[in-house]
């Protein structure tokens, strides 16, 4: 396996900070540009589908405040959503609806 720390130094993987306001719509490709900690939490959550705060804290093995901050940051950036379930709120990745490709409408109409 290649050295992970090495890859994070490459500026091709720098994600531009989004100016404050409405979080942008995120796709799977955006996830690749997250820094290591955020990215690995997202990767884990994608496999889990969703998790409670307690589960995230246990996974990160970090203080609750830190987990909260990390989750909030991911929500602000548009990567995560909170889903209210029966007992406890669940954190869930919010991978966007993939954008359709821009092709002149008449071309699509011809195909349907």
Partner 1 sequence: MAQIISIHSFRGGTGKSNLTANIAVAVASQGKRVGIVDTDIQSPGIHVIFGLDEDSFTHSLNDYLWGRCAIEETAYNLTPGLQTADGLANISGQVFLVPSSLKAGEIAKVLREGFDVGLLNDGFQELAEQLNLDYLFIDTHPGLNEETLLSIAISDGMVIILRPDRQDFLGTAVTLEVAQRLDVPEIMLLVNKVPQAFKRESVIEQVQARYGVTVGGLFQENEEMLQLASSGIFWLHYPEHPFSQEVHAVARQLMAEQ
What are the residues binding partner 1 (CB under 8 A)? 1-2, 4, 7, 13, 27-29, 31-32, 39-40, 43-44, 46-47, 49, 93-101, 103, 108, 111-112
Contacts of 38 (CB under 8 A, 6+ apart): 70, 73, 74, 79
Question: Tokens for 49?
Answer: 């589908």
3-state secondary structure 72-95: HHHHHCCCEEEEECCCCEEEEECC
Give whichever of 19 and 104 is closer to partner 1, judged by the CB atom: 104
Q: Residue 5 or residue 20: which is nearer to partner 1 going by CB?
A: 5
In the complex, the smallest distance separating the C-beta of residue 20 from partner 1, rounded to whole angstroms, is 25
Minimum distance from CB of 33 to partner 1 (Å)? 9
- 65 vs 111, which CB is nearer to partner 1? 111
Instruction: Please identify, using beta-carbon distances, which residue of 40 and 62 lies nearer to partner 1.
Output: 40
DSSP summary character for residue 56 = H
The helix or strand, by DSSP H or E, that contains position 5, with its residue range, turns out to be helix 4-8
Q: Residue 53 CB, nearest distance to partner 1 (Å)?
A: 20
Q: Least Å distance between CB 82 and partner 1?
A: 15
Neighbouring residues of 25: CB distance < 8 A, sequence distance ≥ 6: 78, 96, 97, 99
């Amino acid at each position: 396996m290649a050295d992970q720390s090495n890859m994070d130094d490459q500026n091709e993987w720098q994600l531009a900070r989004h100016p404050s306001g409405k979080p942008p719509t995120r796709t799977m490709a955006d996830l690749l540009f997250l820094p290591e900690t955020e990215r690995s939490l997202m990767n884990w959550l994608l496999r889990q589908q969703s998790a409670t705060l307690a589960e995230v804290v246990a996974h990160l093995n970090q203080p609750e405040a830190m987990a909260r901050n990390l989750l909030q940051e991911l929500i602000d950036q548009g990567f995560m959503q909170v889903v209210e379930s029966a007992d406890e709120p669940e954190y869930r990745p919010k991978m966007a609806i993939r954008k359709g490709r821009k092709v002149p409408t008449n071309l699509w109409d011809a195909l349907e």
